[in-house]
Amino acid sequence: MKFNRHQLLIPSLLTTLCLSPMAFAQRSTVKTTKTVKKKTVGELLSQASESSRGGRLQMSKTDTSLPASNMGFKQDVRSYNLESVKPPRSSEIMQHESSGASSEQAQYERVLDQQIQELYKLTQKFKTSPNRGELWLRLAELYVEKASLIDSRKQDEYDAKLRAFQAGKTKKKPRLDTADAREYNKKAVQLYEWFQRDFPRDEKNSQALFFLGYNYFELGEVKKGAQYYEQLTRGYPNSPFVGEAHFALAEYYFENEKWAPAYKEYSYLIKEKRHRLHTFALYKGAWCLFRIGKVQQAMNYLEFIIKSGKAETGDQLAGRRTVNRTRLEGEALRDIVIFYAEGGDPGKAASYFKNLVGNEYLPYLERLAYQYSDRGNKDASRDVFKLLISQNPTAPKAFEYQYQIVQNYYYAKNTSRFKTELYSWVKDYDASGAWYAANKNNKELIENSYKLRETTLRNYVLQQHQTAQNSRAPYSQSLANEGYQLYLREFPDSASAGDMHFYYGELLYDMQKYDEASVQYKWVVDNAPQSKFYGKSAQNLILSVERSIPSDQEMQKRVGNSLDPVPLEPKVDRFIKAGQWYIEKFPTSEKAVEIKFRIGRLYYQSNHFDEATKHFREIVQQHPNTKYAEYSANLLLDIYNLKKDYVGLEKTGAELLAVPSIAASKAGSDIRGVLEKASFKRGQDLELEKKYADSAQVYQAFAKQNPKSNLATTALFNAGVNFERAGMNGPAIESYQGVIDSKDPAAEKLKPKARRLLAKQYQDSAQFEEAAKLYKQSAQENPTDPLAPNLIFNAAVLYEALGKSDEAIRSYTEFTKLNKKHADNIEAVFSMAQIHRKAGQNGAAIARYIEYVENGGRDQEKVVEAAYWVSELSERSRAKTKADEWKQKTLSIQKRFAPNKKGVGASWAAKLKFGEAQETFKEMKAITFPADPNKQKAAADKKIALLTKLTGELADIIKYDSAEEIVSSLSVLGEANQNMAQAIVNAPLPPGLNAEETKQYKAGVEKFAEPFNTKAKESFKLAVERGLELEVYNDGFKTAYEYMNKLDPKTYYNGGEVGSDIRLVNWMGQ
């Protein structure tokens, strides 16, 4: 049974259900706690843990999440990719030649239209004239001129609309529409092509070729345009249009990033120093050299452009466009910085740019510094920035330059250098420095510098604090400590000072410097009443005091076994007074109840039971929904238990249970019966510890021991989940089945989930039929469930794996009715086709395969396979016409998917091609040599022709790279050559030969047959070698092996073993 496809599919079934055991258990396991056996309150209190009475409670200081610290630096460029560096498009440097005012241009266009009309009439009148070519050329030139005018006008209109859109005057973004211009380009192309057709030898053919290239470029058919330009440059090297053709070709290669071919074309114009495009070609050639790594030569070109100042003169190019000389010079000056950053020496940058542009070289150094920074060359960037600062240390930009240095080292991950540069920057540019004094009248600059220094340092310090908070490492804490000291010294009056004092207190608290921390908290309380941390600072002051309170062990040692009150320890008394101050100051604070409980417990530990009882009762009454109410309830009961006041204990217990929140709390549950929930809780605890088997057994025991509990069914379900997690399929199945069989109304909500998980368990334990039934039942019980189609599909897959064709077909059919996704449904159709075929139901299989092919099967391999089976099954059904039709469809589809034969569907196409080759081989074998010598040559020629044809067919099959057909083809090629050799050797002898002549004749025949025998041996040997390599042991391999065994029994041993042509299947799908 071929099961590998299902093995790949079945593990994904739970994914389709969205019910993996872990995820499902996390959502479904009920986290409620009950016990099994009840105890009296006295017994409960005697065993109550200290934690249930707040015994292990210490006032918790919640960690304060530090704000996200964004240094505000621009995104770092870690690696500089030359592919991203490009010059402006040539169209930006080219500009349309204006005809003056718009009215003048409109007048010119009207004149042009009139000329076009008149010349068009002449072309019609003299369309058979020998001079019609000259008229076509002139009219084509007017069409090109008209197209250029429309382009210019449309571009101006578009620019105006775009400016309006960007200014918010219009809502719809404009679109540049040059369709009208392109129509004139098409007309020009037609005329130039007519000219080429009718006047191929005319001297103006070079003009036609140039404008054909130009117009095709304008039409967007650049490849065709390039062909015309290349034809011009090769065929008319002396034409005046050659230079511009080379330039157009270079632009074509340039835009396609083929730098070397582009440079080659630009070189023609670079050599022609008088050509109007010479300097422009130098510029574009420089970029080509830069992109292929010849940076120094590229710089030389730009240097020439900059120093000579002799860019293009503005001569008109094709289409009324000229070179923008000013723009070209500006771009060269811009690009020389980019090139220098790639190939120049940072130490020589100042002298280089000074020599190049004179005394105004500092802006270029500034740009170079930023270039180095962007490229990740932090040290070079720093050196240049430092040089700029040294030129004028008090210049306004000096601040920004130092900031860039700081930023560079931040992204260089050089923590030590970054810190040094940052602290220097913060201190050197403060109010006591020379830079501040020189720029103090520039209020905006001073304010911005203050904000930037403050923000950057603050975020850096917070980052260091976050690191210290995460690691708790002393070194990290010391760095953050140093940073806070600098910040509070440099920016004592900043808007963030209150927050920073608080954060500094948090750091000192973590460093266990509680006295120093209290100073920072007190600063906030005294100086920043509006701070968001005002209340928390007050809390943390209490916490600082609490840290000095004696431990529980020390408190217990003081009271011993006595129940008499003992004097309050001074530190305890100080905390109680500070806590009472806090409660009065912040009565609604979330910490108030915690502090009140802490005070009450300190009284309780000192045997001041009356004061403790007062605090505990207030907490229960005023804060019943808090954990402190539960703690207080337990301690209240314990006080009565210690005093052996059982009447008071029972009364207080009743009072506590009368409080709804206490009755529903853990304390109330303790009073009513801790054991029941404790048992259930134990199962949860084991589950959280990932002791799933133990947890499952506890849940299972709970369900058996507490069948009437409202948690019984939940416990049974949880047992199933955890048995499944532990890999214990048998008990998991039993538990899930128990949920399904339960009569408990609470079980109804769990039954659908249990049924799906039970199906998964059956599947995992290879009980596929039971799993399929449950999947189907789950879907049928709730057909509107979004998962219902997936469940039906799972059932179909399992039925197919079990070989239950009818059930599988019914399930797949039901799936396609429920499922709304066509892509999934069509894949189910393919599965049904496979089932029909394997069951011998050829008609149904053919129909399904055709449906799969014609309705958008998404798996290309399956599409080819489906087409193949339509052909193959039609052949078996003797539907020859349909078989041939689908054979061609199969080959056509496979060729579309894999134009080079290899790849998608190759094996199916190869099978069809191999069938055709076998027919050729059959025809070849049928040819024998007749006894009549006069007819033998014709037979030989025909047989050799078929062998040649067969050889080509087999070679074509091998190109499909299908293992089975490669071996079979090589074997058939061996058989064909063997057959040819045997036919030659066994041909009838000419009559009338004597013995010696017969011997000589046979020797000649054998010599003639030898090449075919050699080819046969080579083919058989290669068939065996490829068969072993590809693990193919089919009939072709066997034929080849038998042949080679006869030739070389030692190498090709054959002991008579029975082979198999089935290769190993990768069951894991890896």
Please tell me what DSSP assigns to residue 101.
S
How does pLDDT run across 914-939, given as a tens digit for each residue? 998 999 999 999 998 888 888 888 88
Among 240, 259, 277, the domain-final residue is 240
> 472 burial class (0-12, 13-18, 19+ CB within 10 angstroms)?
exposed
* Model confidence pLDDT, tens digit, residues 480-497: 899 999 999 999 999 999
Residue 788 lies in a domain: no
> Is residue 685 domain-shared with residue 647, that is, in the same domain?
no
Please compute, for residue 625, the number of CA atoms within 13 A of its CA located in the half-sphere on the CB side: 1
Does 233 lie in the same domain as 118?
yes
Element containing residue 543 per DSSP (H, E): helix 534-546
Burial class (CB within 10 angstroms; exposed 0-12, middle 13-18, buried 19+) of 234: exposed
- What tokens does 694 get? 């133990």
Are both 847 and 966 inside the same structural domain?
no
Q: Is the pLDDT of residue 24 over 50?
A: no
Q: What is the DSSP letter of 902?
A: S
Cα distance between residue 279 and residue 266, in whole Å: 10
Q: Judge whether 247 and 272 are in contact, CB under 8 Å.
A: no
Q: What is the mean pLDDT of residues 940-963?
A: 91
List pLDDT tens digits, range 797-848.
Answer: 888 788 888 888 888 888 888 888 888 888 888 889 888 898 888 888 889 9
Exposed, middle or buried by CB within 10 Å (0-12, 13-18, 19+), for 560? exposed
Q: What is the pLDDT of residues 783-797, one digit of tens each?
A: 878 888 888 888 888
Please tell me the predicted confidence (pLDDT) of residue 522: 85
Q: For 527-558, give one letter per residue: b (16+ CB within 10 A) or e.
A: ebeebebebbbbbbbbbbbbbebeeeeebeee
Is 85 part of any domain?
Answer: no
At residue 1067 the predicted structure's pLDDT band, cuts being 50, 70 and 90, is: very low
Same domain, 643 and 749: no
The CATH number of residue 7's host domain is 1.25.40
For residue 949, pLDDT beyond 90: yes
Which residues sit opposite 35 in a β-bridge?
676
Residues 100 and 225 in one domain: yes
Least confident of 184-193, 657-666, 884-893, 955-964: 657-666
Question: Is residue 213 situated within a structural domain?
Answer: yes
Give the integer Cα–Cα distance in Å for 914 and 908: 10
* pLDDT given for residue 79 in this prediction: 44
Predicted confidence at residue 927, as pLDDT, reads 92
Q: Using pLDDT thresholds of 50, 70 and 90, give the confidence band for residue 259.
A: very high
- Of the segments 314-318, 440-444, 521-525, 776-780, which one has the largest average pLDDT value? 440-444
CA distance 707 to 84: 72
Higher pLDDT: 967 or 761? It is 967
Average pLDDT of the segment spanning 454-477? 91
Total structural domains within the chain: 7
Q: How open is the CA angle 153-157-160, to the nearest 5 degrees?
A: 140
What local confidence, expressed as pLDDT, does residue 549 receive?
Answer: 85
| pLDDT tens, residue by residue, 722-753 | 988 888 888 988 888 888 888 888 787 887 88
- Domain containing 205 equals 95-240
Largest Cα–Cα distance of the chain, in whole Å? Answer: 146
- Residue at 800 is within a domain: no
Q: Is the pLDDT of residue 869 over 90?
A: yes
Cα separation, 641 vs 662, whole angstroms: 19
Question: Has residue 849 been placed in a domain?
Answer: yes
Domain contains 882: yes
Q: Which two tokens stand for residue 772?
A: 């399929």
pLDDT of residue 757 exceeding 80, the answer is: yes
- Give percent above pLDDT 90 in the chain: 21
For residue 101, the tally of other CB atoms under 10 A from its CB is 9
- Chain-centre distance for alpha carbon 49: 52
* pLDDT tens digits, one per residue of 493-507: 999 999 999 999 999
Same domain, yes or no: 762 and 866: no
Is it the case that residue 292 has pLDDT exceeding 60? yes
Amino acid occupying residue 899: P
Residue 71, pLDDT score: 65
667 — pLDDT class (breaks 50, 70, 90): low
**Residue 102 and residue 235 in one domain:** yes
Q: Which residue has the higher pLDDT, 751 or 159?
A: 159
pLDDT higher at 943 or 232: 943
- Does residue 386 share a domain with residue 337? no
Instruction: Report, as an integer, the average pLDDT of 240-268.
Output: 86
Q: Indicate if 258 and 335 belong to the same structural domain.
A: yes
Structural domain ending residue among the three candidates 223, 240, 257: 240
Q: Are residues 108 and 222 in the same domain?
A: yes
Lowest mean pLDDT among 310-319, 417-426, 886-895, 959-968: 310-319
Does one domain contain both 886 and 921? no
pLDDT of residue 319: 47
pLDDT at 21 (0 to 100): 33
Q: Are residues 582 and 604 in the same domain?
A: yes
Dist CA 555 CA 538 (whole Å): 26
The single-letter DSSP state of residue 589 is -
Question: Is residue 481 assigned to a domain?
Answer: no
Residue 944: what pLDDT? 92
Per-residue pLDDT at 500: 93
Amino acid at 802: L
Q: Has residue 753 been placed in a domain? A: yes
Which residue, 240, 272, 299, sits at the end of a domain? Answer: 240
- 903-928 per-residue burial string, b: 16 or more CB within 10 A, e: under 16: ebbbbbbbbbbbeebeebbeebeebe
The conformation of residue 317, written as its DSSP 8-state character, comes to B
- Looking up residue 584, the CATH number of its domain turns out to be 1.25.40.10
Phi-psi region of 262 (alpha: psi -120 to 50; beta: other; left: phi over 0): alpha
Mean pLDDT, all residues of the chain: 82
- Residue 410 tokens, joined: 């931040």
Give Cα 574 distance to the centre of its chain: 60
pLDDT score at 786:
83
Rounded CA separation 494/968 (Å): 86
Mean pLDDT lowest for which of 97-111, 155-169, 274-288, 556-570?
A: 97-111
What does the alpha-carbon distance between residue 885 and residue 874 come to, in Å, rounded to a whole number? 10
